[in-house]
């Protein structure tokens, strides 16, 4: 393993290979301390960043962090690397690459051409020497547009996943949250439920119900039940009207194994969903979730820092041309991301790395009650991600997920960020909102509070 060194005032800082260098250069977070791989102090961290800035990008193509022979995610990264695309930046060091990204040379078109030439390790490396404003500025220049029944990621648009979770998957309970969300203009990325059980029968019931709602009210959107990929495959085999196949993915083969998946299973799910041809304006059919710390949590990180592991998960995601990918940034708990400061930085890193690699990034801007975080931290992250051009965020009633017991962004939150940034929902969904009398003609404000399309159903219930 080659040593990387940096000398400041005669003090030599030495790092044992790229893996150690990346871990020590990573901005402070509890998960890397828990793994015992973080910098020992403030000076060592910046010295590592200085050493990292001198490393040629090409070095990342020859020094694998996790061996090619033992990890299929490493093999995927190396085998899929586009050397032609890489040529544009092949002569640069990590430090020069940061300068290039910030410069006017890195246009939207240049960044799109470059994406297949970048590896997750390169994206993670440069992110570690970037400040928050750098992560925002560069991510904003990256555009990743995907489509199924709506088009997500267009300029000036910000979409939401309507997340109508219920502790027992009660159909009326789920539908009550669906109505609430639609009336607040939520759901253009997906109407996506975390089911209470992986039982295939119960999952099929939910898929059929969401499909029936979408058809009955002619809503241009797609549904997803966030169950294991193998359960979705089984549901497809049994004839379920399934739009998007979901799966949590991580950045190492061993972590994915702990999720009960590998690349072959993901490909099987991808091809099963494609075969249904249910998209109307596009055929991106996969929905992936990720999050820093998942590899460490599965004891499958191989000494690689959690942010680099996370970037590697995006290589897994992009292999399957996903419709949606989101980091669930604050869900995992304070042993990985301790407080609002760490959660905010991590959310922006994840969005930046994903977009740089060509992945349609969204974010579950969220926290648990044992993290040192609150609604103010979420407002900051939501606002920053909105400015950075995030494709989508979550929407739940009043920020309170009564099934998963955590807090994420609300329907109101999405309207706030759309309002202050002048952002609008996906065009197909926006047209429906106007037809349904939910949004007024200017595409932003709620026209009135009549639950127009749902009025009859609600009236029948009585007072």
Partner 1 sequence: MSDIVTKNPWNTLTRFTQARIALGRAGTSLPTRPHLEFQFAHARARNAVHHPLDEGALCAALAARGLPNFVVHSAAPDRATYLQRPDLGRVPSEASQASLTTFGTAGFDVAIVVVDGLSAFAIEQNVLPFLDLLVPQLSARDLGLAPVAVVRQGRVAIGDPIARALGAKLVIVLIGERPGLSSPDSMGIYMTWSPVAGTTDAQRNCISNVRRDGLSYDEAVYKLMYLVSEAFRRGLSGVMLKDETASQALLAGGAGGNFLLE
Quick check: 179 binds partner 1 (CB under 8 A)? Answer: yes
Tokens matching residue 353:
């790395």
Tell how strand 392-395 and strand 361-363 pair up: parallel
Q: Which of 116, 368, 379, 421 binds partner 1 (CB under 8 A)?
A: 368
262 CB burial (10 A radius; 0-12, 13-18, 19+): middle
Binder among 416, 431, 434, 437 for partner 1 (CB under 8 A) = 416
User: Among candidates 191, 182, 174, 173, which has minimal Cα distance to 449?
Assistant: 182
For residue 180, the minimal CB distance to partner 1 (Å) is: 4
Question: How far is residue 144's CA from residue 344's CA, in Å, rounded to a whole number?
Answer: 22
Span of 76-84, 129-137, 145-153, 409-417 interacting with partner 1 by CB under 8 A: 409-417
Residue 260 makes contact with partner 1 by CB under 8 A: no
Judged by CB under 8 A, which of 70, 99, 199, 299 binds partner 1? 199
Residue 405 burial by CB count (10 A; 0-12/13-18/19+): exposed, middle or buried?
Answer: exposed
Question: Please, are residues 365 and 390 in contact by the beta-carbon 8 Å criterion?
Answer: no
Residues 412, 422, 435, 440: which binds partner 1 (CB under 8 A)?
412
Stretch that binds partner 1, among 258-266, 310-318, 322-330, 392-400 (CB under 8 A): 392-400
Q: Does 259 bind partner 1 (CB under 8 A)?
A: no
Cβ(333)–Cβ(292) below 8 Å: no
In the list 164, 187, 192, 362, the residue contacting partner 1 (rule: CB under 8 A) is 164
Joined together, the tokens standing for residue 418 give: 């759309």
Binding residue for partner 1 (CB under 8 A) from 167, 239, 260, 422? 167
- CA–CA gap between residue 292 and residue 340 (Å, rounded): 14
Radius of gyration of the chain (CA): 22
Name the packing angle between helices 120-128 and 42-53 (round to 10°): 130
Is 16 a binding residue for partner 1 by CB under 8 A? The answer is: no
- d(Cα 70, Cα 329) in Å, to the nearest integer? 28
Residue 400 near partner 1 by CB under 8 A: yes
Distance (Å, whole) CA 429 – CA 426? 5
Cβ closest to partner 1, residue 119 vs residue 222:
222
Binding mask 117-156 for partner 1 (x = CB under 8 A): ----------------------------------------
Total number of residues that touch partner 1 (CB under 8 A) = 66
Query: Quick check: 70 binds partner 1 (CB under 8 A)?
Result: no
Residue 202 CB neighbours (<10 A): 17
**Contact positions vs partner 1 (CB under 8 A):** 30, 33-34, 164-180, 183-184, 196-197, 199, 201-202, 205-206, 209, 212-213, 216, 334-335, 338, 368-370, 374-375, 396-400, 402, 405, 407, 410, 412, 415-416, 419, 445-446, 449-451, 454, 457-458, 460-463
């Amino acid at each position: 393993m080659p040593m990387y060194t940096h000398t400041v005032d005669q003090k030599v800082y030495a790092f044992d290979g790229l893996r150690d260098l990346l871990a020590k250069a990573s901005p402070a977070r509890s998960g890397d301390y828990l793994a015992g791989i973080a910098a020992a102090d403030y000076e060592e961290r910046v010295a590592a960043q200085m050493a990292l800035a001198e490393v040629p990008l090409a070095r990342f193509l020859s020094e694998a962090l996790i061996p090619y022979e033992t990890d299929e995610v490493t093999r995927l990264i190396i085998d899929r690397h586009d050397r032609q695309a890489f040529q544009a930046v092949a002569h640069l060091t990590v430090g020069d690459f940061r300068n290039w990204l910030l410069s006017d040379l890195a246009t939207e078109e240049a960044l799109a051409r470059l994406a297949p030439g970048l590896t997750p390790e390169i994206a993670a490396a440069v992110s570690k020497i970037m400040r928050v404003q750098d992560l925002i500025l560069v991510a904003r220049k990256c555009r990743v547009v995907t489509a199924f029944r709506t088009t997500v990621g267009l300029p000036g648009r910000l979409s939401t996943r309507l997340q109508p979770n219920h502790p027992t998957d009660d159909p009326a309970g789920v539908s009550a949250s669906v109505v609430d969300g639609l009336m607040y203009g939520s759901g253009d990325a997906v109407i996506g439920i975390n089911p209470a059980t992986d039982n295939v029968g119960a999952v099929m019931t939910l898929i059929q119900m969401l499909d029936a709602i979408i058809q009955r009210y002619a809503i241009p959107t797609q549904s997803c039940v966030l169950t294991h990929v193998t359960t979705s495959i089984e549901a497809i085999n049994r004839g379920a009207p399934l739009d998007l196949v979901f799966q949590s993915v991580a950045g190492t083969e061993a972590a994915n194994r702990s999720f009960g998946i590998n690349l072959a299973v993901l490909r099987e799910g991808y091809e099963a969903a494609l075969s249904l041809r249910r998209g109307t304006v596009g055929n991106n059919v996969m929905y992936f979730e990720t999050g820093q710390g998942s590899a460490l949590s599965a004891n499958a990180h191989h000494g690689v820092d959690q942010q680099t592991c996370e970037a590697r998960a995006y290589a897994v995601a992009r292999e399957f041309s996903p419709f949606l990918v989101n980091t669930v940034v604050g869900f995992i708990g304070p042993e990985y991301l301790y407080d609002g400061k760490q959660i905010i930085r991590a959310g922006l890193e994840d969005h930046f790395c994903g977009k740089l690699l060509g992945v349609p990034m969204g974010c579950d801007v969220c926290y648990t009650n044992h993290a040192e975080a609150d609604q103010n931290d979420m407002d900051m992250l939501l606002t920053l991600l909105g400015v950075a051009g995030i494709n989508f965020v979550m929407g739940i009633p009043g920020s309170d997920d009564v099934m998963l017991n955590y807090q994420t962004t609300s329907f109101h939150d999405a309207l706030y960020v759309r309002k202050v940034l002048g952002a609008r929902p996906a065009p197909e969904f926006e047209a429906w909102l106007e037809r349904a009398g939910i949004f007024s003609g200017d595409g932003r404000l709620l026209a009135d509070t009549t639950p127009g399309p749902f009025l009859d159903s609600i009236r029948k219930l009585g007072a």
